[in-house]
Amino acid sequence: MSSMANAGCATELEMEASAPILALIHDAALHLGSTPALALEAARTGGIEVSGQRIAMACGLDEDALVACIELGEGFLDDPEIRRTALSASTHLMLQFGITVARGLRAPQLMGRWAVPGRTAEEFAVWLRDFAILAEAMRANAKPSAD
Q: In this structure, what CATH number is given to the domain that contains residue 93?
A: 3.30.1460.10
| Number of domains forming the structure of the chain | 1
Look at residue 4 in the predicted model and tell me its pLDDT: 40
User: Which residue range(s) make up the domain with 26?
Assistant: 19-142
Does residue 52 sit within a domain? yes
- Mean pLDDT, consecutive 10-residue segments, the chain of 147 residues? 42 80 97 97 96 93 94 91 89 93 91 96 98 93 61
Does residue 108 sit within a domain? yes
Please, which residues have CB within 8 angstroms of residue 116's CB and are 6 or more apart in sequence? 21, 24, 63, 64, 65, 66
Does residue 97 sit within a domain? yes
Does residue 3 sit within a domain? no
Does residue 14 sit within a domain? no
Does residue 111 sit within a domain? yes
pTM of the entire structure? 0.85
Does residue 104 sit within a domain? yes
